[in-house]
């Protein structure tokens, strides 16, 4: 491989609150990934741009043109989090969150993969009994660029007692079809089961959703499909989370269920995500938000961001062995007993660490892992 001339361009969007802290942690890990790529004759270049509240403060807009252009020109984008109380009184299109929604739409990343797995040693932190979360390995596929987040008309009118507000949930056949294909393809590589979530007993969009999902299911006779109403799904996830393989949901249902899964696996802080479309360019972000309550204290859990780097390396850089090495370095740090406060359970053998120390340890273990692999391959002999 040495001598090839491949360069990956990454855009880092730290954003607000704990965003810059977890992206700082991800950068430490990306540094080790960059070293590995260099050994293989490739290169990794990272540039940072503002988004969300930070961008509003700097430029007056949550998604500045320069940020958008850089993201559109990148191989992959890694985002921290946006939003916070400082910008909460701004109008709907000026809010930090509008920057993120605009970015997802511009990148056309309609499929948001949110894996929920039980990391070793974290079962203690789950509010559920360890026997029901032990084998949890679920992939939530959330539709990301449609539904009530984007439907028109939306807005509000009137004053006082005559105030009115409207949001519109709308889905077209192809918006459902393309994300359903992502779910069925993923199920083929996993345990062969898709559970599609809807509210077809009430919503027109859900009736269409179920119809289209069944049509797509017809193209995957080897995959088992099951439908579940979203309210009972919320209950089943706490009752028997390990019974699910791939869970497919529209935008808002997927948003809500993914935070529930964060609670189930012990902390929202460890949940990663990958948002993909047809362009090959991906957007990667931890599932958590800007966590203003813990920002600036070096106590945020960086594992969601670091595991998002693993997803980036897998899907956008197509280097699965490096992705596996990152995941195994995360497991290694947990096995050594390292815990940020959100995942600490106070047991003997645990060591409470901050964001930076956790990232440093994961990076050290990753470097070790990659070096051992090189040695085994004979690269150093
Ligand atoms: P949040 O996810 O920021 O926080 C929820 C709870 O989880 C808080 O108690 C927080 O301290 C904790 N938490 C979150 N991430 C953590 C981490 N990495 N380590 C340890 N603890 C962590 O949700 P919220 O408080 O409802 O929202 C805060 C802001 O974040 C809002 O402005 C919201 O719009 C925004 N938000 C942004 C994103 C995103 O950028 N992708 C996602 C969700 C929420
Ligand atoms: C998420 C967040 C976002 C969403 C917000 C911040 C716009 O909650 O990524 O889960 O609702 O999609
Ligand atoms: Mn959310």
Residue among 357, 363, 286 at smallest CA distance from 322 = 363
**Domain range for residue 258?**
127-264
Q: Which atom of ligand 2 is nearest to the CA of 83?
A: 6
Domain boundary among 212, 244, 264: 264
Query: What is the pTM (predicted TM-score) of this model?
Result: 0.96
Which whole-number Å values give the CA distances from 15 to 100, 204, 252, 292, in the listed order? Answer: 10, 36, 22, 12
Q: Is the CB of 97 under 6 A from ligand 2?
A: yes
Token pair, residue 219, equals 């193209």
Please name every residue paired with 137 in a beta bridge, in sequence order, or none if there are none.
117
Active site residue ranges:
149, 199, 231, 255, 259
The number of angstroms, rounded, from the C-alpha of 368 to the middle of its chain's C-alpha atoms is 26
pLDDT tens column, 248-275: 999 999 999 999 999 999 999 999 999 9
- Do residue 133 and residue 260 come from a single domain? yes
Residues 156 and 204 in one domain: yes
Residue 162 lies in a domain: yes
Determine the distance separating the centroid of ligand 2 and the alpha carbon of 98, expressed in angstroms.
10
Which residue, of 264, 286, 317, is where some domain finishes?
264
Site to probe by mutation for ligand 1, drawn from 99, 251, 291 as the one with most ligand atoms within 8 Å of Cβ, is 291
CATH number (domain holding residue 325): 3.40.718.10
Q: How far is the CA of 256 from the centre of ligand 3 (A)?
A: 6
Atom of ligand 2 nearest to the CA of 273: 9
Peptide bond between residue 153 and the one before it cis (omega within 30 degrees of 0) = yes
Out of 247, 264, 281, a domain closes at 264
- The Å distance, Cα 220 to ligand 1 centre, comes to 37
> What is the rounded CA–CA span in Å between residue 362 and residue 340?
13
Residues 260 and 275 in one domain: no
Whether 282 and 357 map to the same domain: the answer is yes
Q: According to the model, what pLDDT value does residue 128 have?
A: 96
Q: For residues 26 and 305, give the distance between their C-alpha atoms in angstroms, rounded to a whole number.
A: 6
Judge if 144 and 259 occupy the same domain: yes
pLDDT attached to residue 280: 85
Contact 82, 95 (CB under 8 A): no
Q: Are 107 and 277 in contact (CB under 8 A)?
A: yes
Residue 121 lies in a domain: no
Question: Which ligand lies nearest to the CA atom of residue 343 in the structure?
Answer: 1
Could you tell me if the CB of 262 is within 6 A of ligand 2? no
Ligand 3 centroid – CA 195 distance (Å): 20
Residues of the chain with pLDDT under 70: 1-4, 378-381
Q: Same domain for 52 and 166?
A: no
Residues 156 and 188 in one domain: yes
User: Is residue 178 domain-shared with residue 238, that is, in the same domain?
Assistant: yes
Q: What is the maximum span of the chain, computed from C-alpha positions, in angstroms?
A: 78
């Amino acid at each position: 491989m040495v001598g090839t001339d491949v360069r990956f361009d990454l855009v880092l969007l730290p954003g607000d609150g704990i965003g810059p802290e977890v992206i700082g942690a991800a950068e430490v890990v990306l540094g080790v990934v960059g070293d590995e790529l260099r050994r293989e004759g490739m290169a990794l270049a990272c540039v940072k741009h503002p988004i969300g509240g930070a961008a509003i403060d700097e430029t007056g807009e949550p998604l500045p043109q320069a940020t958008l252009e850089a993201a559109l020109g990148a191989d992959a984008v890694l985002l921290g989090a946006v939003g916070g109380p400082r910008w909460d009184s701004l109008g709907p299109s000026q809010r930090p969150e509008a920057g993120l929604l605009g970015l997802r739409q511009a990148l056309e990343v309609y499929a948001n993969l949110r894996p929920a797995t039980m990391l070793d040693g974290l079962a203690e932190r789950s509010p559920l009994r360890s026997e029901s979360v032990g084998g949890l390995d679920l992939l939530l596929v959330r539709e990301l660029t449609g539904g009530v987040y984007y439907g028109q008309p939306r807005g509000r009118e009137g004053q006082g007692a005559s105030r009115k507000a409207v949001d519109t949930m709308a889905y077209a056949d192809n918006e459902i079809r393309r994300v359903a294909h992502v779910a069925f393809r993923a199920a083929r590589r996993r345990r062969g089961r898709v559970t599609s979530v809807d509210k077809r007993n009430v919503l027109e969009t859900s009736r269409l959703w179920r119809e289209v999902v069944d049509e797509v299911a017809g193209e995957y006779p080897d995959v088992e499909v099951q439908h579940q109403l979203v309210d009972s799904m919320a209950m089943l996830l706490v009752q028997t989370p390990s019974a699910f393989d791939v869970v497919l949901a529209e935008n808002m249902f997927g948003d809500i269920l993914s935070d529930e899964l964060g609670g189930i696996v012990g902390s929202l802080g460890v949940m990663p995500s990958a948002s993909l479309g047809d362009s090959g360019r991906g957007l990667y972000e931890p599932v958590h938000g800007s966590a203003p309550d813990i920002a600036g204290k070096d106590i945020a859990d960086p594992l969601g961001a670091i595991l998002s780097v693993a997803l980036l390396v897998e899907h956008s850089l197509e280097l699965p062995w490096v992705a596996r090495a990152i995941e195994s370095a995360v497991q290694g740090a947990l096995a050594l007993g390292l815990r940020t406060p959100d995942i600490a359970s106070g047991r003997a053998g645990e060591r409470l660490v901050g964001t930076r120390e956790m990232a440093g340890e994961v990076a050290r273990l990753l470097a070790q892992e990659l070096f051992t692999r090189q040695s085994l391959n004979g690269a150093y002999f």
